[in-house]
Amino acid sequence: MAAYLQWRRFVFFEREAVKEPPGPDGGGKPLALPPGLAVCDSGRGSLVFGDILDGIWFLSRSLQLSSFQAYKLRVTHLYQMKQHSILASVGEDEEGINPLVKVWNLEKRDGGNPLCTRIFPAIPGNKPTVVSCLTVHENLNFMAIGFADGSVVLTKGDITRDRHSKTQILHEGSYPVTGLAFRQSGKTTHLFVVTTENVQCYTLSVKDYPRLELDTHGCGLRCSALSDPSQDLQFIVAGNECVYLYQPDERGPCFAFEGQKLIVHWYRGYLVIVSKDPKCSPKSEFAGSDPQNSDKQLLNIYDLYNKFIAYSSVFDDVVDVLAEWGSLYVLTRDGKIHALQEKDTQTKLEMLFKKNLFEMAINLAKSHHLDSDGLSEIFRQYGDHLYNKGNHDGAIQQYIRTIGKLEPSYVIRKFLDAQRIHNLTAYLQTLHLQSLANADHTTLLLNCYTKLKDSSKLEEFIKTSESEVHFDVETAIKVLRQAGYYSHAVYLAEKHAHHEWYLKIQLEDIKNYQEALRYIGKLPYDQAESNMKRYGKILMHHVPNETTELLKILCTDYRPSGDCEGPGIVLLACFKANSEEFIPIFANNSRELKAFLEHMTEVQHDSSQGVYDTLLELRLQNWAHERDPQIKEKLHSEAITLLKSGKFRRVFDKALVLCQMHNFKDGVLYLYEQGKLFQQIMHYHMQNEQYRKVIEVCELYGDQEACLWEQALSYFARKEENCKEYITTVLKRIENKNLMPPLLVVQTLAHNSTATLSVIKDYLINKLQKQSRQIEQDEQRIQKYREETTKIRQEIEELKTSPKIFQKTKCSICTGALELPSVHFLCGHSFHQHCFESYSESDSECPTCMPENRKVMDMIRAQEQKRDLHDQFQHQLKCSNDGFSVVADYFGRGVFNKLTLITDLPPGKSATTVDAGLQRELLIHTKRST
């Protein structure tokens, strides 16, 4: 009784009397059932009643009553299937005869009544006995009937047909059977049998139906029930002292609910017990006593899982408790029905909240399978309650249970205001463990650690394994660095491969340049390259030698120096960085830069052009500033060697500018020579008044660029010094190569006051002699051409006026004797007819003379085509030093021949006048051009 009194009582159900449906004359009266109802059941949308006479009544949801006569005397037991429209009943048709079992199909009709599919006696034989209880398996393959004499009859097979079922006596005993229940677990079927003195279990899915006795005390009629899966389908037996729960093989928990139990039911996770009201005067009655006694009875609804009483009320003489349409219905002896409607979950929770029963509310919500949002709200309210009471430790535990649903700022603000850093730390830790923390939460948690100076917790937080990291690593590094925990920040950065942060802290905060350089050498190629570009200047300033060595490796054959902790750090194939990109790192470190560039040019002959350009500039700078002659000579040799390496062909101008900037004469001359800038070479020597060098340049490159001799002559002509020797050398070459007209030579030397006639006397004499010889040759050639022309004219005249006698006796092609037919040409050649046809290309041309004639004709056509090239003639005339030769050439081509214009003559002018005008214009034009 003590345990029972400790259970809290609540009103989680609402009680109201079931009233008649409203009709034309109103309504609202309590629904009154027919008198004499003794048994009842529910299922398939109806409440089923059996009266003490012969009828079975149905009450639909619309509260419409219907009935039919099932037996001639009385109905004693009903069992409505929950999954089938099958109703099993037990009743009597005659006095003194065994009760009959009838199976009704409620979906089929027989004369307006449900169809009775099977009738059979309750117990085999003629032994009269009273049926005490009835149960049917939902698969319609088992039916069990208990009797007052202690026996149990089992019907196996299709209970709706006689042909497919078999009936046998399963159990015999000396105590009345008070309860039966089938339990299906997978493919195993059990039958619980309870009498007034014991509880037993039969295994029906095994041959011979083995029996196991579970307990040695029983219960009264209607005081047993089978729970739902929420209580693991346990068999409930309610004695007067306790309520016991049984599994098929053992007894389960026990609850001390005192009082004489009259009715036991299981409804949606609740245990419903109707018992004698202890406030009324007790009477000496046995269980299952005369139902006509009118006493106050107490109905309690227990929540066994959460240990509270959900509802408790007193009723007058309860006949039975039924569950249908989502509610409980209590039928009393006076024919009235009371509905118990369960309140919704939120209403029940609010009732618990008002009483601050948060733990019970949480358990209730879990048993009702409330979603996570609803549970989180309960945890929040519970936390608020504890917080307001000052129980911060308890409150934070409830707030922790809201993580994932409740906004963390709601909790953080409370504990920031309350200065409860320990509680806030616990909340933030859990937030991180569930991977729900953002960067701000990480910042706050680390600040809590640093405020508490809890280094052990801080190390535990940051030194979690890689798979257990629940925070933003970069944020943690920032906070630790700001708080001065450099070692922790470096550890975190190295472990999680935040290379930039690691290097930033090492270089800017710890100033450990050697360690930073070592770390870069362990990184993969891409990251090592990018970090050297970023931090190379700082490292070069503090550790120049080591930095230079690392850059050499990075730009030649880079491999990580070791296994760097952190994800994504693996040994890669060798890579080569672009050395030119690292040149800016060596600002103000020319010695290291020179060593780096020389190393790159030695190991990589295909280095970028910028490397060679920079190295040349460095060598020229060192050469220009060096004072020691020996070292200067060495630097000079190195610079020349670099220039001669052939790496500056594409950047000739840049190399030339560098050499000129540093006054590196040998380099300038070499580049002039490589660039074929012969005039620049000569001008360079002219500026330095190196006369011998000027002559050497002309001799070396004069064949490639003839104007060098002319420039040399002009140069020496302007000198007031005695340069007779050099002028004579130049004049010899000009004379040999016929580079300048004599008049132009005389005019050039006229500017030199020291150049006398003796200087050019030999030149002029030789020139005049050559021209005289040329004139003689031209006159001889003219005389020859005149004689040939006269001879040709005579031949033409003879051909026109005299007959031609052909006296050839041999063919000009085959040299055979001529035979008729033959072909003769005026040129004197004769041919056989067949030879001519075989070798000739034209019927009017001599095959022998045709090649020579074709050459002449081609020359004539070429001259005719060039007759109209007046623009070309003008250009050559302006550019040529000998205009007379150009005019003579074009005159020979016929450019100056008479023009014939095919057009209408103007009136009043004759053709002779026009022709004379054209000739006059042509002569005027020719004079102007010359």
CATH code of the domain in which 129 resides: 2.130.10.10
In this structure, the number of other CB atoms found within 10 A of the CB of residue 92 comes to 19
Residue 165 near residue 156, CB atoms below 8 Å:
yes
Give the pLDDT of residue 743: 64
* pLDDT over 60 (residue 913): no
| Among 515, 441, 452, 511, residue whose Cα is nearest residue 479 | 441
> Are 922 and 899 within 8 A, CB to CB?
yes
User: With 70 as the cut, is the pLDDT of residue 795 above it?
Assistant: yes
Q: Flag whether pLDDT at 78 surpasses 90.
A: yes
- Whether residue 486 contacts residue 504, with contact meaning beta carbons closer than 8 Å, is answered with no
pLDDT of 115 above 80:
yes
pLDDT at 870: 66
Task: Report the pLDDT averaged over residues 655-665.
Answer: 71
Q: What is the pLDDT of residue 729?
A: 67
Please write the tens of the pLDDT for every residue from 245-255. 999 988 888 99
Q: Say which DSSP state 160 is in.
A: T
pLDDT at position 273 is: 93
Of 740, 768, 796, the one marking the end of a domain is: 768
How much is the pLDDT for 257?
Answer: 87
DSSP assignment of 730-789 equals HHHHHHHHT-S-HHHHHHHHTT-TT--HHHHHHHHHHHHHHHHHHHHHHHHHHHHHHHHH
Q: Tens digits of per-residue pLDDT, 677-712?
A: 666 767 776 666 666 776 766 766 655 665 666 666
Q: Which amino acid is at 852?
A: E
Cα dihedral across residues 413, 417, 421, 423: positive or negative? negative
Look at residue 694 and tell me if it is in a domain: yes
Structure tokens at 434: 């569930």
Say what the pLDDT of residue 192 is. Answer: 95
Q: For residue range 225-234, what is the model confidence (pLDDT) as tens digits? A: 999 888 889 9
> Is the model's pLDDT at 54 over the cut of 60?
yes
Instruction: State yes or no: pLDDT of 387 exceeds 90.
Output: no
What pLDDT, on a 0 to 100 scale, did the predictor assign at position 734?
A: 62
User: What is the helix (H) or strand (E) element at residue 346, kind and residue range?
Assistant: helix 345-354
Q: Which residue has the higher pLDDT, 383 or 101?
A: 101
Highest mean pLDDT among 532-536, 611-615, 834-838: 532-536
Domains contained in the chain, number? 2
Q: What percent of the chain has pLDDT over 90?
A: 15
**Angle at alpha carbon of residue 598, lines to 596 and 601, rounded to 5°:** 110
pLDDT, tens digit, 9 for 90 and up, residues 663-677: 676 666 666 666 566
For residue 481, being part of any structural domain is answered with no
Say whether pLDDT at 914 is over 60: no
Flag whether pLDDT at 137 surpasses 90.
Answer: yes
The secondary structure of the chain in percent helix, strand, coil, rounded to multiples of 5, reads 45, 20, 35
Q: Which of the 8 DSSP states describes residue 507? A: I
Where are the strands (E) in 304-455, listed by range? 308-316, 318-324, 327-332, 337-342
Put the strands of the sheet holding 152-157 in their side by side order: 131-136, 142-147, 152-157, 165-171
**Is residue 164's pLDDT more than 70?**
yes
Predicted local confidence at residue 116, as pLDDT: 92
Residue 212's pLDDT is what?
92
Spatial distance between the Cα atoms of 927 and 769, rounded to a whole number of angstroms: 30
CA angle 920, 925, 930 (to 5 degrees): 130
pLDDT at 920: 43
Encode burial over 358-391: b for 16+ CB neighbours within 10 A, e otherwise: bebbbbbbeeeebeeebbbbbbbbbbbbbbeeee
Residue 927 backbone phi and psi in degrees, to 5: -65, -40
* 250-255, strands of its sheet edge to edge: 224-226, 235-238, 243-247, 250-255
Q: Residue 30 carries which DSSP code?
A: B
The residue range of the domain holding 689 is 676-768
Examine the pLDDT at 109 and tell me if it is beyond 80. yes
Say if residues 361 and 378 touch (Cβ distance below 8 Å).
yes
- The position carrying tokens 């109806």 is 46
Q: What is the DSSP secondary-structure string of 163-175?
A: TTEEEEEEE--SS
Q: Are strands 308-316 and 8-9 parallel, antiparallel or unpaired?
A: parallel
Which stretch of 360-369, 498-507, 522-531 has the lowest confidence by average pLDDT?
360-369
pLDDT at 917: 45
Q: What is the mean pLDDT of residues 128-143?
A: 90
With respect to residue 118, please indicate whether it lies within any of the assigned structural domains: yes
Beta-bridge mates of residue 145: 134, 153
Measured over the CA atoms of residue 852, residue 858, residue 864 and residue 866, the dihedral's sign is: negative
Residue 465 pLDDT:
46
Mean pLDDT of the chain: 77
Question: 275 vs 533, which has greater pLDDT?
Answer: 275
Q: pLDDT tens-digit profile of 594-603?
A: 777 777 776 7
pLDDT value for 203: 93
Instruction: Choose the final residue of a domain: 725, 753, 768.
Output: 768
The answer as to whether 156 is a domain residue is yes
3-state secondary structure at position 220: coil
Phi/psi at 325 (5° precision): 60, 30
Average of per-residue pLDDT across 844-862: 79
Angle between helix 513-521 and helix 544-554 axes, rounded to 10 deg: 10
pLDDT of 419-447, one tens digit each?
A: 677 787 777 777 877 778 777 777 777 77
Domain boundary among 744, 768, 792: 768
Does any domain span residue 141?
Answer: yes
Q: Which pLDDT value is given to residue 930?
A: 36
pLDDT at position 918 is 43
Q: Supply the pTM of this predicted model.
A: 0.55
Band of pLDDT at residue 294, cut at 50, 70 and 90: low
Residue 226, H or E segment: strand 224-226
Residue 905: pLDDT band with limits 50, 70, 90? very low
Residue 802 has pLDDT above 60, yes or no: yes
